[in-house]
Amino acid sequence: MAIVVRPPGSIDVIVGMNPALFNPAVHRILLRAGMYQMVMPAVRLLPAGIAIVDNDFLFTRVSVLTGMHAVFLLVQTADGTQTVHEEELLFHPSVYVPFVDMNRNIYEIHGVLPEYRRQEPFAIFTHVYNEDVMLGVWERYYAQFVDHQHLYVIDHGSERPFRHLLNPRTNVVRIPHGEVDHRNITAFCGNFQRFLLSQYQWVMHVDTDEIVVHRHGPQALLQSLTIPAGQVTRRAMHAFDVVHDPRVEAQIDFSAPISVQRNCLVPAPIYTKPILSTAPTTWALGFHYAMEEGILFADQDLWLFHLAHVDVQHTLGRSRNWNQTAASAAEANLWPQNRRVATAEGVAASLVAKLDDTVQPMPDWVRGMF
């Protein structure tokens, strides 16, 4: 059994195993908990073990399952066809210190008491900066699930006013805008989700260019949101980029249904995001992953359509907006957003390049839904 520790202030976790068992040139490290498993992409040798870089909470997302399953570390050949060593892990409390949430735990420690009954079933929120057209698409679509009073928009200090474009009952919460920093964006959205979950049984978070469709229609989604009997987070099992083919498709009319104007879907598995939850979600940057793997499941009836590439001119405007936005030092080093193609010809070429042999046609049952 190998002991795992996390040094103070470090993203790495240290596994105390025989380093001679692992050769980075020919091996890979995989963690397994029950049926769940995940490859650790960044591992380095130490004199008395190995260090695993916990990017996107990859290590922690498996380790939190230790309450339900023993967690094993497997040393495998690089292609994953052979396991050359397997060892159970024992986790030192230091592994979880960065994730201890006293604000949450102090109110849940009296678990024998009846849970407060949250008054409303469902809220949906997004966050924007200098967005108007796609925000209108977002509001128009999601207003069929809830009344406008249960739609929330975090305005991250937009310089272009948009309040007048929305229904008066749609909630707009304005916060200051500094340098772009996705750690900060993830933090304020996570805190806002927690705030809403104090009063709503279910909360959905999506970007303005993300349309979540239930295979059997809006009412089927609402019917599935029965009063929860515990903590659960749902993600879409299917996700696609809706891509403009400028060779045969006209410029989009955002006042009309998008799904009847576009035909090209490109699989985008990274957008099978944790989007709908009854419990606080610890998102990784970009909201593509969550640490709470133990309560996360893929809903086969949920489809997410990503609209960032739905139109050359719209994509061009967003790219120029990102390129002109100042980024924090951490953002510039970690996830730079200001290097986007910023000419119409370049954007058109990039969209055509996405239309490879994985393209699928827009399903007939989707047409007209958004």
Residue 43 has pLDDT above 70, yes or no: yes
What is the CATH number for 57? 2.60.40
**CA distance linking residue 171 with residue 167, whole number of Å:** 9
Residue 111 has pLDDT above 60, yes or no: no
pLDDT tens string 334-369? 767 777 888 999 999 999 999 999 999 999 999 999
Give the pLDDT score at 309: 97
Give the pLDDT score at 36: 87
Q: Determine, yes or no, domain membership for 112.
A: no
pLDDT band at residue 58 using 50, 70 and 90 as cut-offs: confident
Give how far Cα 362 sits from Cα of 9, 83, 103, 195, Å. Answer: 47, 42, 45, 37
Q: Are 206 and 124 in contact (CB under 8 A)?
A: yes
What pTM, to 2 d.p., does this model score?
A: 0.86
Tokens representing 193 are 């989700």
The SS3 call for residue 12 is strand
Give the pLDDT score at 337: 73
| Total count of domains within the chain | 2
Q: Which is higher by pLDDT, 331 or 335?
A: 331
Domain extent, residue 128, equals 120-361
Same domain, 126 and 88: no
Same domain, 70 and 142: no
The residue from 43, 68, 99 where one domain ends is 99
Same domain, 14 and 128: no
DSSP string, 265-278: EEE-GGG--EEEES
Same domain, 95 and 124: no
Tokens 């279910």 belong to which residue? 202
Same domain, 124 and 62: no
Q: Determine, yes or no, domain membership for 227.
A: yes
Cα angle, residue 331 at apex, residues 296 and 162 outer, rounded to 5°: 80
Same domain, 125 and 71: no
Q: Determine, yes or no, domain membership for 171.
A: yes
Among 269, 194, 272, smallest CA distance to 235 is for: 272
pLDDT tens string 167-179? 999 999 999 998 8
Give the pLDDT score at 332: 81
What distance lies between CA 279 and its chain's CA centroid? 15
Q: Determine, yes or no, domain membership for 278.
A: yes
Q: Determine, yes or no, domain membership for 325.
A: yes
Q: Determine, yes or no, domain membership for 114.
A: no
Tokens 């006293």 belong to which residue? 102
User: What's the full length of the chain, in residues?
Assistant: 370
Same domain, 47 and 152: no
Tokens 């990274």 belong to which residue? 270
59: burial class by Cβ within 10 Å (0-12, 13-18, 19+)? buried
Tell me the angle at which helices 344-354 and 312-323 cross, rounded to the nearest 10 degrees: 120
Mean of pLDDT over the chain: 91
Same domain, 94 and 151: no
